[in-house]
Chains A and B, each alone.
Chain A
């Protein structure tokens, strides 16, 4: 997931003039939600009608703590507004999992409205739901009791800035290629065979639920076929009428039957994907299609390269598909599209990367998709490019050109070598590693069989520093959050402090592990998702739902938040208090208690006299490695009761902002309220040696022990890479980054607005490089007049 603060969507996300009239109209239609009174994909609640029913689960939204104050209202208002679904005879006698399946089937085959938009070639419109959790009275009682407990603990953890957790939906790549290949019909046949051999009734019930869900997809698609036929009859434009007839034919076929053409494959993919969002009642965060240039390629090859379908038509199909995931944003149309809670949903598609023998796997479709990404210029689906040491130069050039001219970051760039190394460290099977793909923002998983709970636990590492300084207590409230590790003014050596810190960190981690175990149990026992389980390998065979550790690979990721803030704090303590002895612990604690008010000199010493992570400084980077290995190896020691192993990662979503006021001033000189560090990035403004030094600092962390992937965003002025020979320099930077062992990078091109911000708040932008004749300069070190000129000037190849 990714935060977009105050999106200026219309300015930032302009379409290309190359789009066809059809696609441009569809794209505009999506953005014009106010004028779209005939179709809004807003949240649609459905209930069993039972008075104890629930259609909203706070646990699913644990990692969006901004919603904590609203859960009660959501639960109540959505239930009130929910449409009652007629239930078949004997419904309540069925096991819970079967009830969930039947309800899903009833909703998608009878209740969920069907809408085909004017001109679209890929259909499937309404998918934002709030489905009943299908509890009987006893289950509902238990769910409510547990949820109450959940809300209490979650509120405590979050309000003290310790972190957050929740059993988050999505964040998985379902086995879409299998659906394309054998259709849901093939899955049903397979499940029926398994059912005959199943040894107990729980397994048989579970398979029964999967079969019901799979069959529902056929009847759901049939409704689109009927609608397309109806529209075709009424349509006076012959060409569109023909298109609608073709859509009807395809909807009657996929996703039930195997897809045979490119159009069928893309349609099958979208139906299969959108129904996951329907079932999970979650607008897609992290639900990722994976390597589409690989598994759609056989269809593309057959139709376009060897057949008679034009490349332009295939592109239009992809572009029609491209708009679809964006409709997830209609979900928050009323609750806050413009209220700052706007977040990117991260339905991540992956292109490029290696094949099974380590060879480059890019193909014509990879290139076509790059064109689609460029021309559509949309928030979703989020594009990821996998690079590796044999990525062809022309492909890398194309990617770099797109990066260089973009405002914002058009891509996640993922590096195969280090990403695979992490998955290997984690213990995933060697022969499957090449085919990994990230979900959400950048979280690496295998495809089709791996739920790794990639954003489910987020822990504020800087909080452990605060707790060590205050003997386990929160500075602001005085509440006890960790064990007593002693008054640090009595610590005589760095080792003493380190021991205290490790105790606090482990205790903080344990509190989250216990809490997440609770989240996991709550979901796995009371909120199964059999439709999703039907398309994730391992569930049918094991008889366990995807929420209950049923798939082949099961992990839970614990994301370390504020990594660099914690690292720089530890460095300052070690160096200035215990080594150079220029400050005493008492002085530091007193300054932090006062949030550095009246202690500016101490703050400046902390900022200027201790090295900082991100500068290729071995002293600082050794501390960073120490913390990273300590954290990730500790995390990896634990498992949930459902058998999911915990693993580490570094992704801070918006918590580096949210927890800033809840984290006391830190020994790196940061005042309470100043943002914490983001992902694996250095603290803003402290990386003064430029992009090569940052890359090398990161390479020293030993990131294989954080297999989830590690968020690194780097910012450049767009002018850096304009002009002849510049793109090659960006390319070689990325090749070197890949070689030295980064896992993922996002490149920001900084626009004039940011430069203006930098001018006003120079200390926050000390690392902002701009190019001035003959050399690169740090923007904030230039005089005001030249800053003005740089902001105002026409950037040629500067």
Chain B
């Protein structure tokens, strides 16, 4: 007699309707920083934003990509021979991947004995992902945790994500949508409605700067954010604090103001301190890391920003991330 949407989806799949397929670049268990409790985070591949500071560059492109790990390579050359497109060339300076011809078929990954080549991005069905995230159910139950769908940007693969969220819900697992909210109002509404909570990334309140830093306009994001308030959705805000980009007091004050005035149901706001940890990932993808050499923030700066954010937003604010040791007098 049940007729909830999640149950309907589950029944349809059981009845033989093929489950949706999506491209996922990581399923990370024991995520303790992506929402409440112990969680498994499903990272969806593909993102419309081009944030200068992007920490998951492997999540930007929608298609699977090949990555080469220099420390694992034993120079066996099996991969070079296995490639039907001759896209690989192992030179003294390292592996050169001709990305214009590589179609991420993965034959080299199979051939490599030492695991030096990895395909970032796997095509999986919602049921396969469900099976994986269900493994840690006991940890979710005891920690009030659950499943977080993140990215990239989950809204890039809306049908898959919707089905996954509903299947999780049908299995009584708590769900969180970690999103930039840069998508159509319809898609956003559908995905937010299907999630138990939303982790919303807000970077800056200045539309011009937003366009400059991320490549997209702020407007649809704010509209979608307002929908969370209207629908009384449990929401956490996350703001990356990037030196020279988002770390000005003014920016935090503006964001705080928006949170207070226009988003009534924000439960928590996290300020995430910048770090350089992703640099090696850029190298492996043959991409340029624009913030090379930028120093970490001082912990006292983070403390100040937290105080400011608290003052302007009136919500529970935390910070995390690596910071420089404070100089002692």
Contact A793–B296 (Cβ < 8 Å): yes
Task: Flag whether A614 is at the interface (Cβ < 8 A).
Answer: no
A775:B322 contact, CB within 8 angstroms: no
Label chain A's interface by main secondary structure.
helix
Q: A724-B318, A794-B324 are in contact. Are A773 and B273 (CB under 8 A)?
A: yes
Please pick, from B28, B135, B279, the residue contacting A775 in the complex, using a CB distance under 8 A.
B28
Interface residues of A in 590-609 (CB under 8 A from B): 600-602, 604-605, 607-609
A:692-743 near B, CB below 8 Å? 692-693, 696, 720, 723-726, 728-729, 732-733, 735-736, 739-740
B274 within 8 A of A: yes
Query: Which of B112, B114, B279 sits near A783, CB closer than 8 Å?
Result: B279
Which of B74, B238, B279, B323 sits near A786, CB closer than 8 Å? B279
B259-279 CB mask vs A (1 if < 8 Å, else 0) is 000000000000011111101
Asked if B113 and A604 make an inter-chain contact with CB atoms under 8 angstroms apart, the answer reads: yes
- B31 near A723: Cβ-Cβ < 8 Å: no
Interface residue? B258 (CB, 8 A): no
Which of chain B's residues has its CB closest to A720's CB? B32
Q: State A616–B74 Cα separation when bound (angstroms).
A: 28
In the bound complex, do residue A691 and residue B280 qualify as a contact, i.e. CB atoms below 8 Å apart? Answer: no
Q: Is A35 an interface residue (CB 8 A)?
A: no
Q: Decide if A797 is an interface residue (CB 8 Å cutoff).
A: yes
B29 touches A789 (CB 8 A): no
List CB contacts (< 8 Å) of B1-54 with chain A. 28-34, 36-38, 41
Within 8 A of A (CB), among B183-235: none
Q: Does A774 lie at the interface of the complex (its beta carbon under 8 Å from any beta carbon of B)?
A: yes
**What residues of B have a CB within 8 angstroms of the CB of A16 in the complex?**
none
Inter-chain contact A608/B38, CB cutoff 8 Å = no
- Is the CB of B91 closer than 8 A to any CB of chain A? no
Cβ-defined partner of B113 (8 Å) among A601, A762, A781: A601
Whose C-beta in chain B lies nearest to the C-beta of A763?
A: B71
Q: What chain B residues lie within 8 Å of A736 (beta carbons)?
A: 38, 138-139, 141-143
Q: Are B142 and A739 in contact (CB under 8 A)?
A: yes
Q: Please, how many angstroms separate the alpha-carbon atoms of A637 and B165 in the complex?
A: 51
Contact (Cβ within 8 A) B37 A794: no
CA distance A785 to B295 in the complex (A): 11
- Does A363 sit within 8 A of B, measured CB to CB? no
CA distance A600 to B274 in the complex (A): 40
User: Counting CB contacts under 8 A, is A792 at the interface?
Assistant: yes
- CA–CA, A797 to B74, complex, Å? 38
Closest Cβ–Cβ distance, residue A604 to chain B (whole Å):
4
Q: Which of B139, B279, B296, B318 has the most CB of A within 10 A?
A: B139
> B84 an interface residue at 8 Å Cβ cutoff?
no
Q: Is the CB of B319 within 8 A of A797?
A: yes
Choose among B135, B145, B273, B322 the residue with the greatest number of A CB atoms under 10 Å from its CB. Answer: B322
Task: Tell me the residues in window 271-329 of chain B with beta carbons closer than 8 Å to chain A beta carbons.
Answer: 272-277, 279-280, 283, 296, 299, 302, 318-326
Of B33, B135, B324, which contacts A776 at CB under 8 A?
B33
- Does B115 sit within 8 A of A, measured CB to CB? yes
B170 within 8 A of A: no
Instruction: Tell me if B136 counts as interface (CB < 8 A to partner A).
Output: yes
A773-B322 CB under 8 A given contacts A601-B113, A608-B114, A692-B139:
yes
**Residues in chain B near residue A798, CB distance under 8 A:** 320-323
Contacts A732-B145, A762-B71 given; does A773 touch B321 at CB 8 Å: yes
Which A residues touch B299, using CB under 8 A? 794, 796
Say how far B32's CB is from chain A's closest CB, in angstroms. Answer: 5
Given contacts A604-B115, A762-B71, A783-B279, contact A735 B142 (CB under 8 A): yes
Chain A neighbourhood of B326, CB < 8 A: 794
**Residues of chain B with a CB closer than 8 A to A690's CB:** 28-30
Chain A residues positioned under 8 Å from B135 (CB to CB): 616, 692-693, 696
* Interface flags, B49-68, vs A, CB<8A=1, else 0: 00000010000000000000
The complex places the Cα of A774 from the Cα of B320 at a distance, in Å, of: 8
Which listed residue (A604, A609, A786) contacts B276, Cβ 8 A?
Answer: A786
Q: With A604-B74, A771-B33, A772-B277 known to touch, is A729 a contact of B143 (CB < 8 Å)?
A: yes
Shortest Cβ distance from B138 into A: residue = A736
**A81 interface hit (Cβ, 8 Å):** no
Closest to A740 in B: B138
Q: How far is the CA of A739 from the CA of B32 in the complex (A)?
A: 20
Question: Which residues of chain B have C-beta atoms less than 8 A from A605's C-beta?
Answer: 113
Complex contact B280–A797 (CB within 8 A): no
Interface assignment of A790: CB less than 8 Å from any CB of chain B: yes
Given contacts A773-B273, A783-B279, 9 further A-B contacts (CB under 8 A): A601-B114, A696-B136, A728-B37, A729-B38, A772-B277, A773-B322, A785-B279, A794-B299, A796-B320
Q: What are the nearest 4 A-B pairs in CB distance? A: A732-B143, A783-B280, A604-B114, A773-B321
A-B contact pairs, 7 of them (CB 8 A): A604-B76, A692-B139, A732-B144, A793-B296, A794-B299, A796-B323, A798-B320
